[in-house]
């Protein structure tokens, strides 16, 4: 008899189900309870069997949940300190609730779901993913969901970029790829030909670590900057070396730790609240935020969105990038007004 095919559960649905399950318990859930019962894990869980790959998936998912700013806690079982198998996981609901004055009707929740579906083939920012997870986990007052509610929801949100699946397929087939890539500040994309090494997520954004043939060097490519289709060639000739993903993430972490920017923020503003909660952010005695970043272009885009609530103090090139974006925005609006 042929083996039963296990249906594939999208990563975002699995993460949402995990968040929902951990919100529903005060005492927490053990890893075994999560793997055996939560959507996205239970389909692949074997009771009493080898679940090592599933446990590794759960460890990666924990990191992704925390990367989204969700406060996932671990609780040791009394009398079993240091035993990872008896650790319990939970999300303190009070720290993840929406503000008391923010509530959504069933119709508004449906509209938010439709908005998520509209973007499912593109890339949502980390803030968007965090907000949608929070709204979905809150639910509406009369949605009728049970205490766990996992099966009552069918999330359709896909937070990966369009290029993700073709690049993952190329990695599986040890193929080289070519794609058009647009660098910030340039108006036209440029063709890149690379051998993929790993797909990694850092700071809520997917990146491709790859060996670029033209320069003979390893580089990171932001998936959201890949335009047009990804084409494979030389299938089977470019296997990724073992540990490539770990090395790529370690290099990104090294860059993150080394690159900082000093940002002034308006007291009590949305910029202050949100930027102060970014990972590793520090506040000096003058109230200036010290932010870490990997890509100054990405940080410039993030800061420009806050408008007059932020002021870049250092470095100068970051200030210039933010100023350039704000001037372009003003020019676009002036052009619309004349039109």
Cα gap 114→16, rounded to integer Å: 16
Do 48 and 72 lie in one domain? The reply is yes
214 and 286 both lie in a single domain: no
For the segment 77-105, the average pLDDT, to the nearest whole number, is 66
3-state helix, strand, coil in the chain (%, to 5): 40, 20, 40
Span 125-178, pLDDT tens digits: 444 455 555 544 444 444 433 333 333 233 333 445 788 889 988 998 999 999
Of 189, 221, 256, which one is at a domain's C-terminal end? 256
Could you say which of 256, 291, 312 is where a domain stops? 256
If asked whether residues 170 and 273 sit together in one domain, one would say no
Residue that finishes a domain, picked among 256, 276, 291: 256
Q: What is the count of structural domains for the chain?
A: 3
Report if pTM > 0.75.
Answer: no
Residues 303 and 214 in one domain: no
The domain of 216 spans: 164-256
Does residue 173 share a domain with residue 278? Answer: no
**Sign, Cα dihedral of 95, 98, 99, 101:** negative
Tokens of 323: 């100023």
One domain for residues 17 and 32: yes
Residue 117 lies inside a defined structural domain of this protein = no
Say yes or no: 20 and 93 in one domain: yes
The CA-atom distances, in angstroms, between 178 and each of 121, 235, 248 are 20, 12, 20
Residue 339: which pLDDT band, with cuts at 50, 70 and 90?
low
Same domain, 29 and 147: yes
**Same domain as 237, residue 145:** no
Burial class (CB in 10 A: 0-12, 13-18, 19+), 153: middle
Q: What is the pLDDT of residue 236?
A: 92
Say if residue 232 is in the same domain as residue 285.
Answer: no
For residue 125, tell me if it sits in a domain: no
Most confident of 56-70, 98-112, 128-142, 300-314: 300-314
Q: Give a yes or no: residue 109 inside a domain.
A: no
Band (316; pLDDT cuts 50, 70, 90): very high
77 assigned to some structural domain: yes
Q: Residue 274: inside a domain, yes or no?
A: yes
pLDDT of residue 315: 93
Check residue 258 and give its pLDDT.
Answer: 94
Instruction: Estimate the crossing angle of helix 52-67 against helix 11-23, to 10 degrees.
Output: 80
Q: What is the mean pLDDT of residues 245-267?
A: 92
pLDDT tier at 6 (50, 70, 90 boundaries)? low
Task: For residue 75, give the nearest of 95, 89, 58, 93 by alpha carbon.
Answer: 89
Q: What are phi and psi of 147, to 5 degrees?
A: -65, -35
- Determine, yes or no, domain membership for 133: no
């Amino acid at each position: 008899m042929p083996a039963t095919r296990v249906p594939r559960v999208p990563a975002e649905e699995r993460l949402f189900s995990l968040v929902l399950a951990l919100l529903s318990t005060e005492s927490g859930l053990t890893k075994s309870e999560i793997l055996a019962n939560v959507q996205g894990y239970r389909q692949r869980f074997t009771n009493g069997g080898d679940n090592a790959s599933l446990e590794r998936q759960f460890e990666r998912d924990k990191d992704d949940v925390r990367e989204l700013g969700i406060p996932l806690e671990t609780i040791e079982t009394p009398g079993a300190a240091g035993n990872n198998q008896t650790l319990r996981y939970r999300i303190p609901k009070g720290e993840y609730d929406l503000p008391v004055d923010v509530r959504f009707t069933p119709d508004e929740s449906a509209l938010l779901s439709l908005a998520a579906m509209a973007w499912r083939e593109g890339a949502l920012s980390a803030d968007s993913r965090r907000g949608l997870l929070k709204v979905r986990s809150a639910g509406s007052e009369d949605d009728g969901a049970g205490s766990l509610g996992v099966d009552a929801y069918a999330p359709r949100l896909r937070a990966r970029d369009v290029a993700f699946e073709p690049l993952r397929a190329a990695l599986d087939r040890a193929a080289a790829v070519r794609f058009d890539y647009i660098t910030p500040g340039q108006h036209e994309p440029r063709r890149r030909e690379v051998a993929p090494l790993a797909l990694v997520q850092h700071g809520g954004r997917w990146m491709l670590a790859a060996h670029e043939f033209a320069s003979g060097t390893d580089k990171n490519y932001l998936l959201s900057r890949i335009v047009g289709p990804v084409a494979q060639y030389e299938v089977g000739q470019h296997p990724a070396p073992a540990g490539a993903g770990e090395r790529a993430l370690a290099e990104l972490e090294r860059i993150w730790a080394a690159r900082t920017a000093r940002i002034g923020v308006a007291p009590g503003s949305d910029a202050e609240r949100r930027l102060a909660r970014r990972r590793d952010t520090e506040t000096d005695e003058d109230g200036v935020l010290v932010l870490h970043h990997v890509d100054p272009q990405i940080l410039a885009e993030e800061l420009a969105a806050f408008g007059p609530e932020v002021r870049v103090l250092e470095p100068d090139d970051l200030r210039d990038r933010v100023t350039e974006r704000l001037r372009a925005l003003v020019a676009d609006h002036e052009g619309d007004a004349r039109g």
